Amino acid sequence: MRSIVFSGTRFVVAFVLLLSALPLSTAQQNTDCNIRVTLLQVNDVYQFTPVDQGTRGGIGRVLTLRKSIQKENPNTLFLLAGDTISPSVESITYKGSQMIEAWNLSGLDYATFGNHEFDFGPDVLKDRIKESKFGWIAANVIEKSTGRTFAGAEPFVIREFGGVKIGIFGLVLPETKTTSRPGPDVDFLADDAERVHQRPGIALGLVAGREAGHGEAEDGRARQAEIVAGPRGDDQSVG
């Protein structure tokens, strides 16, 4: 969880473990607007029940945490950075529907796809998306037959808090084609985020993307970090 104070003089891009501060144009720098936004982000959550004999974890505890954080700061975004439908023993039977039901009750705002979202194939994932009461975002996951984002997922969304616009978009690494089962009609574009994050008037772009594997996936993750940060300099990274 991270709280950030935004002003109209900064353009901030968060890439899961990457946070880069970028300068705005002169016209935008004249904006006098400060707002505190809290980002509550989770990923790789495969079961909703607590672990260690009920002493740790569980989406029920996450719900309590979200309520507490949101009470302290109503300007809170609750985000899932992928990998929840699979794998788990329960998902063998329910194909991830039990996780969607739990997230629906948790007050999740937005999610993007991890590679495990495609483990049961694209049709099952489409069913899970239909069951979701939160938004799915994915800028670079495309259905070849239509040329549109997979299952109608939004490429990006814009939320506004106190006059500051928060742009949120999701990325999934192309290696998902081989590390999971997206099927022949689903493609993962490498450069689509460049077009999305250049939109003017957005104070924050949150890329809730997930690495699709290990080893060779590192190059893809670095490439997406480069896309998000862009060439404008004044970058800083935090883990």
Q: For tokens 């957005």, name the residue.
A: 202
The confidence score (pLDDT) of residue 187 equals 95
H or E element that contains 110 = strand 110-111
How many domains are contained in the chain? 1
Q: Is residue 127 part of a domain?
A: yes
Q: Are 4 and 11 in contact (CB under 8 A)?
A: no
> Which of 73-82, 172-181, 192-201 comes out lowest in average pLDDT?
192-201
Residue 37 has pLDDT above 70, yes or no: yes
The residue range of the domain holding 135 is 2-229
Q: Are 1 and 42 in contact (CB under 8 A)?
A: no
Q: Is residue 235 part of a domain?
A: no
Where residue 63 sits, what CATH number does that domain have? 3.60.21.10
Provide the token pair at 176: 């998902």
What is the 8-class DSSP label of residue 183? -
The confidence score (pLDDT) of residue 239 equals 23
Segment 135-157 mean pLDDT: 94
The confidence score (pLDDT) of residue 232 equals 42
Q: What is the pLDDT of residues 53-97, one digit of tens each?
A: 778 888 989 999 999 999 999 999 999 989 999 999 999 999 999
3-state secondary structure of 205: strand
The confidence score (pLDDT) of residue 182 equals 97
Question: How far, in Å, CA of 52 to CA of 69, rounded?
Answer: 25
122 compared with 174, residue with greater pLDDT: 122
Segment 11-28 mean pLDDT: 33
Residue 194 has pLDDT above 70, yes or no: no
Segment 6-15 mean pLDDT: 33
Q: Is residue 21 part of a domain?
A: yes
Residue 141 has pLDDT above 80, yes or no: yes
Q: Is residue 236 part of a domain?
A: no
Q: Is residue 237 part of a domain?
A: no
Q: Is residue 238 part of a domain?
A: no
Q: Which residues contact 214 (CB under 8 A, 6 or more apart)?
A: none
Residue 233 has pLDDT above 90, yes or no: no
This prediction's pTM: 0.76
Q: Is residue 234 part of a domain?
A: no
The confidence score (pLDDT) of residue 120 equals 97
Q: Is residue 90 part of a domain?
A: yes
Residues in the chain: 239
The confidence score (pLDDT) of residue 56 equals 82
